[in-house]
Amino acid sequence: MIKAKHSLGKSPLFWIAVLLIQTLGLSGQSLDSVNRCATMESYWFGLRSRGDSSHPLEIANQRINAYLAEKKALRQTEFEVINIPVVVHVIHNEPSGAIGGSGNANITEEQIRSQIRILNEDYRKIPGTPGDNDNPVGVDTKIGFYLADVAPDGSQTNGITRTYYSAKSVFNPYADAQLLAGIISWPTDQYLNIWVCALSGNYLGVAQFPSLSGFPGLDDSQAEEALTDGVIIDYRAFGDRGAVPSNNYDMGRTTTHEVGHWFGLLHIWGDARCGDDYCDDTPWAEGSNTTSCNERFSNCRGSRTRNMIENYMDYSPDRCMNIFTFNQMERMHAVLELSPRRAKLVENARKAKLEESEKLQVQVFPNPVVDKMVNVEIRHKGYQDVTISITDLQGHVHETSRIEKMWSRLVSLPVSNLSRGVYLLVISNESGEKNVSRFVVN
C-alpha cells in the first residue's frame, strides 16, 4: 500500500515566523522550549536562496520508492552491516581553549564519545540500552558509527577537531552551514561530518538530506552541497553528559534524529497534517509529538491510530524514543546505495581497512590523478610506521609524511600543490621495505 502524496510547501506566515526566530536568537535559553529540528526549514531555505524551484527531496523519494519496489520483487531482504566513520568538528568561542564546563561549546571528549555510543545503541538496538525496544516493527538498522581514526591527509586522528572561532559564538541553523563548513570540513564522501556548536533560535539540530542526483563538483550548487553535507548539533544536546543540561533533550537523540535525516528519513507525520513519510510501518500522524511521552492518537484516512511517539523521527522528548522501523531501515540502506556521495562514503570506509599482506604492496589510483587527490592502497604485515614521500624524476622531494602505526589501508593524499608532470611515490615501512610507484598529474 502506497500512501498518498502531499504538499510540503510552506505558507508566508511560516517564513515570517522563521525570520522572527532568527532575529530573537537564543540568549539565556533553557532548552525547555526548543525547536527540535531545522532540517525541513533549512531544506526550503536553501532552495529559496538559490532560486531553485525544483523539489529534489520529492524526486529522491520517488527514486527510493522505485528501488525498494524492485528489491521487494526480487525478494532481497538481506542487509549488510555498514559502519560509518564520523568526524566531530567542535566550533567554540573560548579564547583560552579551555575544554568542558557548562555553557562551554568546547565540549569534552567524554561528551563526544557518549554521543557515538548512543548512535550505536539506537541504530543497532543494542539490548540492555535505552536504544532497545520490543516493538514488532522495531529493528536493528545494521548501521554503526565510529570516530574516524585516519584524517584526510592519512595521519592518525581521534576523529575530533577543535576550532576557536572568534567572529561568532552562536550559529544560525539555516544560514550558517556554509560558514561552518568553511571553518572546517572533511571530505563528505569519506566521513559523516558532525559540527557541534551553539545554535540560534533555540534549535537543537539540523541535517542535510542526501543528494540522489549528480556527482560532487559537477556544478556550483553540487559543490556547495558536498561541502556542507552533514549534521549540525547544538552542544547542549550532543551526547548525554558534560555540557548537556538535564531536560527533555539530554539522551543524545537529537543526533540520532538528525543523522536519520542525513540517511534520507522524513518526519513520521510527513511535515503535513497526516503527511507521508513513505514508511508503511510508521502509522499516519496528524502532527508531531512534543513535550510529553503520553500516548497520542490521530484520525487520518478515516481511521484512528496511535502515533508512534517512540520513533526517533518524531519530536518527542529523548526519553520516549527507541524505535527505527523496518521500512525506515530499508530507506536508509537504499540511500546508502543510491546517493552517490553516501555510496562513495561506504565504499571508502570499506576500502579504508584492507587485508594485510606478507610483503609491502602498494597500489596508486586513479592515474593520472583526478580532483587533485591521489589514493594509495598500502598493504603490509601488521601494524607499522610508514613514511610516504613524493619526489619528481630529478629526485627533488615535494612532500613527506609519516604515519605512526598503521594497519593496511587506503591513504588519500592531496596533490594540489604539484604542477603537471610525472612523480614518484616512495613508500617505506619500519620493517625496511620500500616501494616506488609512478603517477601522473595532468
Active centre residues (catalytic): 258
Smallest CA-to-CA distance from 106 within 116, 117, 114, 98 is with 98
Name the residue nearer to Zn ion (CB basis): 39 or 193.
Answer: 39
Asked if 177 interacts with Zn ion (CB under 5 A), we say: no
Instruction: Please choose, out of 29-37, 156-164, 272-280, 316-324, the segment that lies near Zn ion by the rule CB under 5 A.
Output: 29-37
Judge whether 427 and 400 are in contact, CB under 8 Å: no
Distances (CA, A) of 112 to 58, 92, 317: 34, 14, 20
Judge whether 8 and 272 are in contact, CB under 8 Å: yes
**Residue 392: strand pairing partners:** 423
What residue number has its CB nearest to Zn ion? 37
Instruction: Please choose, out of 13-21, 33-41, 317-325, 376-384, the segment that lies near Zn ion by the rule CB under 5 A.
Output: 33-41
Total residues in contact with Zn ion, by rule CB under 5 A: 2
Q: How far is the CB of 200 from Zn ion (least distance, A)?
A: 17
Q: How far is the CB of 151 from Zn ion (least distance, A)?
A: 30
Query: Scanning residues 240 to 279, which ones bind Zn ion (CB under 5 A)?
Result: none
Element holding 140 (H helix, E strand)? none
Asked if 232 interacts with Zn ion (CB under 5 A), we say: no
The answer for residues whose C-beta is within 8 angstroms of residue 179's C-beta and 6 or more apart is 168, 171
Asked if 39 interacts with Zn ion (CB under 5 A), we say: yes
CA pair distance 377, 361, nearest whole angstrom: 8
Name the residue nearer to Zn ion (CB basis): 90 or 233.
Answer: 233
Name the residue nearer to Zn ion (CB basis): 145 or 269.
Answer: 269
Q: How far is the CB of 378 from Zn ion (least distance, A)?
A: 40
CA pair distance 283, 300, nearest whole angstrom: 9
Distances (CA, A) of 399 to 274, 425, 440: 58, 10, 15
Name the residue nearer to Zn ion (CB basis): 189 or 277.
Answer: 277
CA pair distance 347, 337, nearest whole angstrom: 10
Q: Is 15 exposed, middle or buried (0-12, 13-18, 19+ CB in 10 A)?
A: middle
Name the residue nearer to Zn ion (CB basis): 285 or 352.
Answer: 285
User: Interface mask (CB under 5 A) for Zn ion, residues 352-391, using x and -?
Assistant: ----------------------------------------
Instruction: Please choose, out of 32-40, 125-133, 143-151, 342-350, the segment that lies near Zn ion by the rule CB under 5 A.
Output: 32-40
Beta pairing class for 192-197 and 82-92: parallel
CA 178 from chain centre, in angstroms, equals 15
Asked if 37 interacts with Zn ion (CB under 5 A), we say: yes
Q: How far is the CB of 37 from Zn ion (least distance, A)?
A: 3
Q: How far is the CB of 271 from Zn ion (least distance, A)?
A: 9
Asked if 204 interacts with Zn ion (CB under 5 A), we say: no
Binding-site ranges for Zn ion (CB under 5 A): 37, 39
